[in-house]
Amino acid sequence: MSDIEHIGFIGIGNMGTPMAGHLARAGYDVTAYDLTPDRARRFADAHSARTTESLAELGRNADLVITMLPSGREVRHALLEAQDGALAANLRPGSFVIDMSSADPVGTRKLGEELAPRRIALVDAPVSGGVVRAKDASLAIMIGGDVAAVAAVKPVLARMGGKLFEVGSLGCGHAMKALNNFLAGTSFAAASEAVRVGRQFGLDPAVMIDVINVSTGRSFASDVVMKQHVLSGTFATGFALGLLAKDVRIAADLANQVGADAPIGALVSDLIAGARDAIGGDVDHSRAAEYWNGKG
């Protein structure tokens, strides 16, 4: 274990709950905070951890704050705006913040610049692997940030992930994650479309997915999302449609920001945003296939 002992964990949702649980079990002194205090309390009861509704208290007691929130907007709010900016104001110089949410990389760089004068080091470390791999601590973690800060927080990240990648300076983790989810969203939309066309020709969707999963069209979307969640009708990946729409939008915006030609990103972002607007952002993202396919 490094010098970090006291961790404030903000965002006790689908992912944050198992991730913070690994840290508590590893012996870190974890204080949980969530906008829905019941979630933090349930977590604290289950793990003999602490909870607080005061961001000032969370900041005062933490060597490190981890955020696992819907987007960069909530991360910024929790650090600089909520409770009159109490969190950043109470973190001591030399402390660390790791944003493990999937956030907009440009916003992350701006946030890092705002925290730097207080000598609070921000690291971005978004994850991939979903709730299943969050539970067994085998997440892929994409780390961006200052080399010394990354070295200091890596032992903590290693408790939550199976594969840790240092991908560059602050914001690079978030850029990497958005581009991964652009690919995941694209293959999901494409697998849904292939099944729709095949079914209308007379193919059996279940047979199609079995063929694809041992053929060159195979992807996480065909193997896990379509096979285990769409065809079975369970729709329980634990990843909300609104979050996928946000990630693909971040990737499309990133393409614009760097001036890259990226026609697929814009197209898939609009497709997924359309499904979110029609059936809601809180539903499981696998429901988008049902929505698209229902449209015939």
Min dist CB 126 to ligand NAD, Å, is: 6
Is residue 37 at the binding interface for ligand NAD, with CB under 6 A as the rule?
Answer: no
CA gap 290, 230 in Å, rounded:
7
Among 12, 142, 160, 271, binds ligand NAD (CB under 6 A): 12
Place of tokens 């929130």: 69
Is residue 135 at the binding interface for ligand NAD, with CB under 6 A as the rule?
Answer: no
Residues 6+ away with beta carbon under 8 Å from 269: 245, 248, 249, 251, 252
Among 80, 131, 164, 203, binds ligand NAD (CB under 6 A): 131
The structure tokens listed for 92 are: 């001591």
| Radius of gyration (C-alpha) of the chain in whole angstroms | 20
Among 155, 238, 274, 281, binds ligand NAD (CB under 6 A): 238
Strand partners, 139: 161
Catalytic residue positions, numbered: 177
Of the ranges 7-15, 157-165, 228-236, 248-256, which one interacts with ligand NAD (CB under 6 A)? 7-15
Residue with Cβ nearer ligand NAD (205 or 265):
265
Residue 113 three-state SS? helix
Of the ranges 11-19, 114-122, 192-200, 224-232, which one interacts with ligand NAD (CB under 6 A)? 11-19
Among 14, 54, 228, 293, binds ligand NAD (CB under 6 A): 14
Of the ranges 23-31, 63-71, 223-231, 263-271, which one interacts with ligand NAD (CB under 6 A)? 63-71
DSSP string, 228-270: IIITTS----S-BHHHHHHHHHHHHHHHHHHT---HHHHHHHH
H/E segment holding residue 7: strand 6-10
Sites of contact with ligand NAD (CB under 6 A) = 10-16, 34-36, 39, 68-71, 74, 77-78, 101-102, 127-128, 130-131, 238-239, 243, 247
